[in-house]
Structure formats: structure tokens, C-alpha cells
Structure 1
Amino acid sequence: QNGDGGFGFYPETTSYMENTYCALEILSKLNSFPMQLDLCRKYILGCQTKNGGFGRAPSSFPFIESTFHAISGLFLLDEMEAREG
């Protein structure tokens, strides 16, 4: 997990929504969660645009794929928080 809360292709690379979603999906399947769950949520929400969609990264244009990854990632974070207690 990067300092901005998202995930890149490998440690210390630029975070992107698709990488963040894939990392959350893998962590969920392993019954685990990101080290900084709240920061991960902040990263995802920071990618939301004025018109409601989500971009690959903060300040980027919204795409349907990124919006799917963001919404799915937020659901996964909710499930992880519920498990964490």
C-alpha cells in the first residue's frame, strides 16, 4: 500500500484505481485488509469527479471501468471493516 492509501503495480509506484481494486479483492479473498483501511477509502473517494464518476487517479477523467472499480472497492472496504470489528 502506498502512502496515498492506494496501490500501484508494485510498491512505491503510482496508485491507480484498478490496482487498488485488485489489491482489495485479493486481500478480501485472503481474509485480510489493507494496513491503512481509512486511507484507502480516502484515496478511492479522492478519485471521484464533480459529475459523480471516478477516475483512475485523483484529478483524472471518469471512466465506467474506474467507477466500477471504485464502487466495488468501497463495498470491499465496508466488508473488511465489518470483519475487523
Structure 2
Amino acid sequence: MNNIFKITKLEEVRPYTNQKGITSHCRDIQLQQLGGKFADRFTSTLFDAEAEKELEEGALVAAQLYFYTTEYNERVFQNVSISDIEIINKKS
């Protein structure tokens, strides 16, 4: 899904270490579709270069969202992955 979103929540950049022992950066982000107070929201984590972009709450962005599910111990989990996030305009 490639769409325009408003950043409603943005956490600070933090380090993380992957399973191979490589340390990089990540940050949590929440995006809301345009369309009012009750429009759909999507929460995900940005990694590496995407996490280090200068983003701010209230800014409009264009982003590519991918949805996928995984099954573990007979339970199904849905994941949202965000890539190609680009700032359209900064917070007014």
C-alpha cells in the first residue's frame, strides 16, 4: 500500500543489535491515513537509513506499507513494514 499519511507518534532513534551481532539504529513510528480523527493508524519500526531521516510528528509523508502474517505456536501475528518513507511537507 503506497499512500499519504500523517505522523501521529514518533519515538527517538535507539540502537539495536541484530542476531548476527551487528549494531544499527531503529525507531518506532505511528502513521495515520488522511481522513479525520478516526482514520486507520499503522504502527511499525523504521530501521537503519529510514530511522535516521529527519522526521517530526504532524508531518505529512508518503510511504510504502507492506502487510504480512506469521504463525508461531498456533498463533497468527500480523506485521506492518514501512519502507520508502518520504517527507511531503513539514508540520505546520
* TM interval, short-chain normalised: under 0.3
Using structure 1 for the length normalisation, give the TM-score: 0.26
Using structure 2 for the length normalisation, give the TM-score: 0.25
